[in-house]
Structure 1
Amino acid sequence: MTVAVIVKGWPRLSETFIAQEILGLEQRGLRQVLVSLRQPTDKAVHDLNRRIKAPVTYLPEYLHQEPARVLRALAAARRRPGWRAARAAWIADLRRDPTRNRARRFGQACVLAAELPADVTWLHTHFLHTPASVARYTALLTGLPWSFSAHAKDIWTSPAWELREKLAEARWGVTCTALGHAHLQALAPEPGRVELLYHGLDFARFPDPPASRPARDGSDPADPAILLSVGRAVEKKGFDLLVDALARLPAGLHWRWVHVGGGDRLGALKEQAARLGLSDRIDWLGARAQDAVIAQYRRADLFVLPCRTARDGDRDGLPNVLMEAQSQGLACLSTRAAAVAELIEDGATGRLVPPDDAPALTAALESLICDPAGRTALGAAGAARVRRDFGCDSGIDRLFARFTGGDGVHYGRMSFVGAAACCALHG
């Protein structure tokens, strides 16, 4: 079979978990074609993405940019047996969500339906929000079955009515945290519609942890403790809270914070650090490819990611960067937000503090900076746990079995015949 994999943007530096899954399925023999709703925006590209051989199609990011392509697709869509069902679903969605974004997704679905390679027998989407809307409308137009991988923002910022309808129509889905799984299961029409599959890591892409790390304890101004964070500067990552916590540390404690990532709030974060007099103690590295990120994990003394729930409900799932840091034996400090506690046991494989608690974060920072032996123990325990329980192979094997279990093509043909019969019966 051939699976069309629908993603919001390709390639993206922040979505190594998607590239890892696509490559793993490709290496197991699954033919895929990639469909991106947006053009790439990151300047750097991971080597992981370059290894993927699947062709990529870019849909019109904005419909007015390619009017001829969209009009041809709409004309073709109106001749399809599934047109009425797809249009009815879209109109119902548009009434509840009267936005340009909703209109754009239907236009993109028409283009995708018109341009799908003839050998595509299944649609799979990453994220249950906008990419899944395109997958759903395309499935209705073509009669093909579809499935999904749900992650974080898509689960927590999508309205319940939309999740229920997508869960009812998708053939199956997977998600990457027990927290997200429980939420989706409560909305699903039947047990077993959604399966828990942790992303995990492909440890073949990561070196063994360093044999040792310098015993920095914050006492030497010439050799400060190196604190590292990797992530976009967005509200749910909590980096503004971290800047406040750093400002509260004792003046005689010597540290340096390294931030890797872009994000809409990066400028505001830099201004906050400047106001608090911290600019000369921070390195803003911007977005980097994974080999450069791994190098930072290996030179740092402590990884810090103070996750929180954003005001719009957005939150992390299980951040891959925590697993990556642990793979390098780096002690991690995070919060009890999102699904972090599914990976880190406080005091055993890392440290967790309450989210949005700057004093608690400051206290944990100070304690860990001053205790290199404790950091080493946490790092070693974290490395052992992540390598034992969070490898990616079992999850990718399970996905491959899902796709190639024998019912994909048959289901797709039956769906198409059913849609045609329905239209014939109802005129």
Structure 2
Amino acid sequence: MKNIAIYRTVMPFVSESFITEQARSLRKYSPVYVCRDLKSPLDARSVCIDSKSKFERARYTVCRKSSVFIRDLEGKNLSLIHAHFLPDAVMIAPTAKKLGLPLIATSHGFDTQMSRWSQFKTRKPTNWQFLLNEKNLYKNADAFIAVSKYMREKMLERGVPEAKLFTHYIGVDTQKFQPLMHQGKFILNVSRHVKVKGIEILLRAFAKVPLSQGWQLIQVGAGTETLELQALAMELGIDSRVTWLGAQPHDEVKKLMQQCACYVQASMPDQNGQTEAFGIVLLEAAASGVPVLASRSGGMPEALIENETGYLFEPGNFNELADKLNYVLAQSNEWRKTMGLAGREFAQSLDIRSQTLLLENIYDQVIANHASN
């Protein structure tokens, strides 16, 4: 079994569980997590810069050089470094070069979709490093991964060389997310409380679901717009029918996925042009055997089969969403189960185990190409 480094400048984030889920599914490769800042312990080998080493952290942030990484990774017998998000790939690129290792960079959304000016305005050092070193990354990294066909086009527009670009869906754990015969009287949405997630659109659509039918909306997530969204629910007269659960652990989300009547994702492009790169949450819902409704935004249409496993609507069009939501809710439990099982069959075609085998084939190819150059 070969060792590889999985790099993220700061990790782990609850919203980025897809990174560790993918790493856990590796069979031919053993992951070593590498980061500048470790937010909480990981159940695997990890290398990070001591939070007390302020000089070492500052040096790495400004110069992209770390004696800690070089010292600790030299003895790990690594075959490759896989960085998640392009700014992170820029940060770890000097280490990969110093160790003579191939570097793969996956773009998950904002790093490719946001304009360069918008990235500059974030005032984040990693984004500034990316802007300064973007062209060198495209030239020197061994390969790039797009998480959807939509992202592939965005990455090509950004300047990623087509010859180095792979399209690869991370996939979903269909053993973890499984159907449950019980179907609750609620609609589910799992999203951070930010504009791009379109929760406002969902609330306005849900307000058009007749009160007499007794449907509830359960929303999982938190963010900068929580109070604003809760105020909108009161304004629309649906506050008694909306339950705000805040951020929840993955296992709790799984239970809600199994019990909901349908799942809705109303994401839309924000002012920076950022939207969903794919929509793993839609696959999780499909694997749980429930119909999904999603906007035609970003890569989300790739996460369902329209009119078979769910329905699509135009981003921002809450009237269209309301019509399709009311249609799905008006059907019988058996009708929704039938559509949900079709969704599960689709999700099984993108099971994370088979998808990770494809990823390992990419690793094999990149390592072989790097060795021959």
TM class, shorter-chain normalised? 0.7 to 0.9
Q: 2:176 aligns with which of 205, 213, 217?
A: 205
* Letter matched to residue 148 of structure 1: A
Indicate the residue corresponding to 1:20 in structure 2: 21
Q: Retained in 2: the 8 A contact 1:238–1:307?
A: yes
Alignment of 1:50-89 (within 5 A): 50=43, 53=44, 55-59=45-49, 66-70=53-57
- TM-score, normalised by the number of residues in structure 2: 0.84
Residue 190 of structure 1, CA deviation? 4.5
Q: 1:230 aligns with which of 190, 193, 197?
A: 190
Residue 352 of structure 1, CA deviation? 0.8
Distance (whole Å) between structure 1 residues aligned to residue 235 and residue 322 of structure 2: 18
Indicate the residue corresponding to 2:126 in structure 1: none
Residue 6 of structure 1, CA deviation? 0.8
Q: Within the alignment, does 1:136 sit opposite 2:93 as a pair?
A: yes
Alignment of 1:184-195 (within 5 A): 184-187=155-158, 190-195=161-166
Q: Within the alignment, does 1:153 sit opposite 2:110 as a pair?
A: yes
Q: Retained in 2: the 8 A contact 1:125–1:149?
A: yes
Aligned partner of residue 14 in structure 1, secondary structure? helix
Q: Retained in 2: the 8 A contact 1:13–1:288?
A: no
Residue 121 of structure 1, CA deviation? 4.4
Residue 250 of structure 1, CA deviation? 3.4
Aligned partner of residue 330 in structure 1, secondary structure? coil
The structure-2 alpha-carbon separation of the partners of 1:106 and 1:60, relative to structure 1 and needing over 3 Å to count, comes to farther
Q: Retained in 2: the 8 A contact 1:70–1:107?
A: no
Q: Within the alignment, does 1:243 sit opposite 2:203 as a pair?
A: yes
Indicate the residue corresponding to 2:12 in structure 1: 11
Q: Retained in 2: the 8 A contact 1:178–1:339?
A: yes
* Letter matched to residue 34 of structure 1: Y
Alignment of 1:348-387 (within 5 A): 348-372=308-332, 373-387=334-348
* Letter matched to residue 157 of structure 1: M
The structure-2 alpha-carbon separation of the partners of 1:338 and 1:110, relative to structure 1 and needing over 3 Å to count, comes to farther
Indicate the residue corresponding to 2:121 in structure 1: none
Aligned partner of residue 57 in structure 1, secondary structure? strand
Distance (whole Å) between structure 2 residues aligned to residue 166 and residue 346 of structure 1: 37
Residue 409 of structure 1, CA deviation? 10
Q: Retained in 2: the 8 A contact 1:334–1:351?
A: yes
The structure-2 alpha-carbon separation of the partners of 1:347 and 1:292, relative to structure 1 and needing over 3 Å to count, comes to same
Distance (whole Å) between structure 2 residues aligned to residue 266 and residue 345 of structure 1: 32
Q: Retained in 2: the 8 A contact 1:236–1:315?
A: yes
Q: 2:83 aligns with which of 125, 130, 146?
A: 125
Residue 182 of structure 1, CA deviation? 2.4
Q: 1:169 aligns with which of 133, 140, 146?
A: 140
Indicate the residue corresponding to 1:180 in structure 2: 151
| More displaced stretch, 310-319 vs 159-168 | 159-168
Residue 163 of structure 1, CA deviation? 5.0
Distance (whole Å) between structure 1 residues aligned to residue 263 and residue 370 of structure 2: 48
Q: Retained in 1: the 8 A contact 2:283–2:304?
A: no
Distance (whole Å) between structure 1 residues aligned to residue 166 and residue 366 of structure 2: 19
* Letter matched to residue 242 of structure 1: L
Aligned partner of residue 125 in structure 1, secondary structure? strand
Residue 300 of structure 1, CA deviation? 1.0
Distance (whole Å) between structure 2 residues aligned to residue 251 and residue 11 of structure 1: 41
Encode CA deviations 1:370-410: one digit per residue, 9 max, x unaligned: 223543332122122221x2112233113223334584697
* Letter matched to residue 210 of structure 1: L
- List alignment gaps of at least 5 residues for structure 2: 117-129
- TM-score, normalised by the number of residues in structure 1: 0.74
Distance (whole Å) between structure 1 residues aligned to residue 271 and residue 366 of structure 2: 44
Encode CA deviations 1:192-240: one digit per residue, 9 max, x unaligned: 3111111111222233x123636xxxxxxxxxx3010112222211112
Instruction: Provide the identity percentage.
Output: 22
Q: 1:104 aligns with which of 61, 76, 79?
A: 61
Aligned partner of residue 316 in structure 1, secondary structure? coil
Aligned partner of residue 212 in structure 2, secondary structure? coil
Indicate the residue corresponding to 1:392 in structure 2: 352
Indicate the residue corresponding to 2:29 in structure 1: 30
- List alignment gaps of at least 5 residues for structure 1: 75-102, 215-224, 415-427
**Bigger radius of gyration:** 1
Distance (whole Å) between structure 2 residues aligned to residue 110 and residue 340 of structure 1: 41
* Letter matched to residue 56 of structure 2: R
Distance (whole Å) between structure 1 residues aligned to residue 320 and residue 160 of structure 2: 41
| More displaced stretch, 291-300 vs 249-258 | 249-258
Residue 158 of structure 1, CA deviation? 5.7
Indicate the residue corresponding to 1:281 in structure 2: 241
* Letter matched to residue 361 of structure 1: L
Aligned partner of residue 193 in structure 2, secondary structure? coil
Question: What RMSD in Å do the two structures reach over aligned CA positions?
Answer: 2.9
Residue 109 of structure 1, CA deviation? 5.2
